[in-house]
């Protein structure tokens, strides 16, 4: 959009609204350009206009060598994010001090490029039971009819405290990717490994970002219940007010 005639007093601020309504999952680029001139139409004097015009591209020079206007140019990147609907989180559940693997399937709609790509409508995550480190990784998907689509994925946590607690306990690895040539929907299947060392209940978000600009987010929930009892220790009493002793060994699982 374009507007003109805005008057500003010295040190006054102006708000410039920017509206972003993407219809496909790709990054859009634009420039916000502000051109300021003196209200009385006069130019700002400048002695060495030739040197100014050489070094600075943000000014417009008048024929008499003065500065006619000044430009501020702000690049804007619009990154669309899939709508956050009320999705049920993908739950990964096991008892503490055990290890479980789950397959998480995510559907990426509205992926670009591709002539058959659909508009961004919804996203979903599905967990399949019985079928590693938590790092960001690049994914490439090709269907033979369009150019290669590249993705980055990672697990994000609500706080650094949760990240430090879950980071070493959760592993994620992409095991399968495919694209439907008719709908343009890309399916990514991850193998999630969860090996908790104590009871917990923490949330995370699986974030997938396309290198063309789209972002998809899928909620996840990691639950660790009470561990199994290690052993039962029986102490036999030898009499009233007399001490009974049982010896057993404790081995640390970490340093």
Q: What CATH number is given to the structural domain containing 88?
A: 2.60.40.10
Q: Are residues 185 and 94 in the same domain?
A: yes
Looking at the domain assignment, is residue 132 inside a domain? no
Q: Are residues 176 and 76 in the same domain?
A: no
Q: Are residues 96 and 173 in the same domain?
A: yes
CA distance 88 to 76: 33
Q: Are residues 109 and 204 in the same domain?
A: yes
Q: What's the confidence (pLDDT) of residue 60?
A: 72
Residue 149: beta bridge partners? 141
Looking at the domain assignment, is residue 123 inside a domain? no
Q: Are residues 61 and 106 in the same domain?
A: no
The 10s digit of each residue's pLDDT in 29-51 is: 999 888 888 888 888 877 665 55
Q: Give me the domain span that covers residue 70.
A: 1-45+56-80
How would you class 163 by CB atoms within 10 Å of its CB: exposed for 0-12, middle for 13-18, buried for 19 or more?
Answer: middle
Q: What's the confidence (pLDDT) of residue 201?
A: 94
Looking at the domain assignment, is residue 91 inside a domain? yes
Looking at the domain assignment, is residue 93 inside a domain? yes
Looking at the domain assignment, is residue 239 inside a domain? no
Domains in the chain, number: 2
Extract the residue ranges of the chain whose pLDDT is less than 50. 114-124, 129-138, 142-147
To the question of pTM greater than 0.95 for the whole model, the response is no
Q: What's the confidence (pLDDT) of residue 73?
A: 87
CA distance 84 to 105: 17
Q: Are residues 99 and 200 in the same domain?
A: yes
CA distance 45 to 127: 69
Q: Are residues 26 and 72 in the same domain?
A: yes
Looking at the domain assignment, is residue 232 inside a domain? no
Looking at the domain assignment, is residue 28 inside a domain? yes
3-class DSSP state of 215? strand
The 10s digit of each residue's pLDDT in 172-187 is: 988 888 888 787 788 9
Q: What's the confidence (pLDDT) of residue 141?
A: 52
């Amino acid at each position: 959009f374009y507007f003109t005639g805005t008057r500003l007093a010295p040190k006054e601020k102006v708000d410039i609204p920017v509206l972003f309504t993407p219809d496909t999952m790709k990054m859009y680029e634009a420039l916000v350009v502000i051109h300021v001139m003196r209200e009385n139409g006069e130019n700002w004097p400048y002695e060495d206009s030739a040197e100014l015009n050489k070094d600075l591209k943000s000014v417009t020079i008048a024929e008499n060598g003065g500065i006619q206007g000044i430009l501020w140019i702000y690049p804007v990147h619009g990154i669309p994010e899939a709508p956050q609907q009320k999705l049920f989180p993908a739950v990964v559940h096991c008892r503490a001090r055990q290890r479980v693997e789950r397959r998480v399937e995510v559907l990426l709609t509205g992926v670009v490029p591709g002539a058959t790509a659909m508009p961004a409508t919804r996203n979903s995550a599905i967990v399949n039971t019985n079928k590693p480190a938590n790092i960001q990784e690049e994914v490439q998907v090709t269907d033979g009819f369009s150019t290669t689509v590249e993705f980055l994925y990672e697990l994000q946590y609500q706080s650094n405290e949760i990240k430090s607690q879950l980071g070493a306990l959760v592993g994620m690895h992409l095991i399968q990717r495919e694209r439907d040539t008719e709908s343009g929907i890309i399916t990514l299947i991850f193998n999630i490994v969860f090996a908790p060392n104590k009871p917990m209940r923490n949330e995370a978000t699986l974030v997938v970002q396309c290198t063309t600009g789209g972002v998809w987010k899928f909620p996840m929930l990691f639950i660790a219940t009470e561990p199994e009892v290690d052993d039962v220790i029986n102490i036999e009493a030898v009499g009233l007010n007399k001490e009974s002793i049982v010896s057993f060994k404790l081995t640390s699982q970490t340093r």
